[in-house]
Amino acid sequence: MYIAPSILSADFGNLKAEIEAICEAGADLVHVDVMDGHFVPNLTIGPVVVNAVAKAATKPLDIHLMVQNNTFFADLFLPLKPKFLSFHIEEEKHPLRLIDHIRSHGVGPAIVLNPHTPVSAIEHIVNEVDMVLLMSVNPGFGGQKFIPSVLEKALSLREMIERKNAKCMIEVDGGVTGLNVAQLDEAGVDIVVAGSYIFSSNSYEHSIRSLKLEF
């Protein structure tokens, strides 16, 4: 299991040290939540802060857009060359065009599904992306309760990936803890995002290792 700590739950007054600490503690990716106050009822960080995050990070960025104007925001972050740049299918009329645009910048395109969006919505996209992110909470805030129906979605996405011989990874985001990660692993999930679970723990190394099922 790969671990992508969500910096939304980090101490923003101490952001550089927080990012350095999770990278040293075994994070595989640094998950960055960009919210615009329109697609979701919260507003987070823009290019000035994400640039500072990129400088501090020694692991690749995983940028999760929760915005209405995906292309405008993608263009702000593509120069940072994240490993993944993900956008929500619910908010994009021309997903294949945006996927091509992201890939043309040497960045891995990824698509996000809200908890209510069926996996069938990406039947004709799954071969074109590097990763599919399944939300296990309604996007907008850290610290929410895990929605267990994501397990069934992960299983059907895994089946779709195999049937279509696609190459993409599966990521789950929201309410992930040491108590549900084993079920996600069994359902075929490759990467988990975790915010409050890691940043509220006494030891980032310990909580990341528990998500990697190393105990």
The answer to whether 36 contacts Zn ion (rule: CB under 5 A) is: no
User: Within its chain, how far is the Cα of 194 from the centroid?
Assistant: 9
The answer to whether 109 contacts ligand DX5 (rule: CB under 6 A) is: no
Binder of residue 129, out of Zn ion, ligand DX5, none (CB less than 5 to 8 A by kind): none
Contact range with Zn ion by CB under 5 A, out of 106-114, 117-125, 168-176, 180-188: 168-176
Does 33 belong to an annotated binding site? yes
Cβ contact 128:104 at 8 Å = no
C-alpha 151/C-alpha 189 separation (Å) is: 9
C-alpha 86/C-alpha 116 separation (Å) is: 18
Contact range with Zn ion by CB under 5 A, out of 61-69, 72-80, 99-107, 116-124: 61-69
Q: What share of the chain is helix, strand, coil (3-state, %, to 5)?
A: 40, 20, 40
Cβ contact 189:151 at 8 Å = no
Annotated binding-site positions for substrate? 6, 64, 140-143, 173-175, 195-196
Binding residues for Zn ion (CB under 5 A): 33, 64, 173
Binding residues for ligand DX5 (CB under 6 A): 6, 8-9, 31, 33, 64, 137, 139-140, 142-144, 173-176, 193-197
